[in-house]
Amino acid sequence: MKDLNQLLLKFNQKQNFNYDDFFVSKSNFFAFELIEKWPRWEKNILNIYGEKSCGKTHLANIFYKKNKTKKIYENELKNENLKEFKLYENIILDNFQNNTDERLLYSLFNLIDNENKYLLINSLKPINEMNFLLNDLKSRSKNCLFAKIDSPDDELMFAIILKNFSDRQIAVDKKLIDFIIKRIDRSYGKISDFIYKIDELSLKKKKPIDFKTIKEIL
């Protein structure tokens, strides 16, 4: 575990998607490494997947800022976008949940292949496990790079909890964070909900966060 004061210095700024605010651990190292390795990818399409709030969009924004990229959310994708995509070397399709016309998605994949572009897709589950009806799309979705962001390990949980408290300008003793880590569900969403609830309870009681408050929320 890194020194608490070092982490406080690193995470005491306002929440954002900056490069320096992404904490790398075993849980997300492979996905982060692929973002760093671009354009030396083995495939032209990278699918980063994992549960909500695990850092997929943060990585996409790091990629966006470093490279000539067009970023779009799945619900914004239309046929007209394909012409616009020709102007960019990289495309980001964020928050993909398989609600797109499959022929349109297949056309996007073909554009990436034919013009030697790169596509980053973020999703909750890998696209090769999605129930595509179009056989060509089903086959093409398997020929991608896949990077899963795993459940947070202790080091990442510590960093996430500390950063969330720091974003709210709440000073918390290291012992309290260790106490939380041993008892909370190993889930990005659960951590986020916990921080929100404990902050809300602390404000209502107008008291600093202590073991009693933490136990009450847990």
pLDDT string in tens for the chain (218-residue length):
344 344 433 433 344 577 888 999 999 999 999 999 999 999 999 999 999 989 999 999 999 999 989 999 999 999 999 999 999 999 999 999 999 999 999 999 999 999 999 999 999 999 999 999 999 999 999 999 999 999 999 999 999 898 888 878 888 889 999 999 999 999 998 998 998 898 888 888 777 888 888 888 88
Residues constituting the chain: 218
What is the spatial distance between Cα 37 and Cα 51, in angstroms, rounded to a whole number? 23
**Cα angle 167, 60, 143; round to 5:** 145
pLDDT at 16: 58
pLDDT at 9: 35
pLDDT at 178: 94
CB count in 10 Å sphere of residue 9: 11
pLDDT at 131: 94
pLDDT at 171: 81
**Cα angle 50, 201, 157; round to 5:** 30
Q: Give the residue carrying structure tokens 């760093």.
A: 36
| Token code pair at residue 123 | 């999703």
**Cα angle 142, 143, 147; round to 5:** 80
The structure's pTM equals 0.85
Contact 161, 181 (CB under 8 A): yes
What is the spatial distance between Cα 181 and Cα 185, in angstroms, rounded to a whole number? 8
pLDDT at 201: 84
